[in-house]
Amino acid sequence: MSVPIPDAVVTMIGRQIPEHVLAAEVEATNQAYNITLCRAPQYREAREYALSDLARANKTLAQFDPRLIVRGAA
């Protein structure tokens, strides 16, 4: 069961994470979603592009904290 986190706590945690790591998290989440949209064979190139962006963002996240890695639908 998920426990809601107050906005003030989320803001406080966010201030402790470097800006480039937050940007990498957003990028990784977006690309993981894009990968799920590119299932058909005609979107293979777009899927490969999304996978490379996801890998790049995950590299940044892993350097900060390996638990932040975003898993894509492979």
Q: What is the pLDDT of residues 4-55, one digit of tens each?
A: 889 998 888 878 999 999 999 999 999 999 999 998 999 999 999 999 999 9
| pTM assigned to the model | 0.78
| Res 59: pLDDT | 96
Per DSSP (E only), the strands in the chain are none
SS (H, E, C) 45-59: HHHHHHHHHHHHHHH
Q: What is the dihedral of CA 19, 53, 30, 18, to 10 degrees?
A: -10
Instruction: Report the alpha-carbon distance of residue 32 to residue 71 in Å, rounded.
Output: 7
Instruction: Report the alpha-carbon distance of residue 1 to residue 11 in Å, rounded.
Output: 22
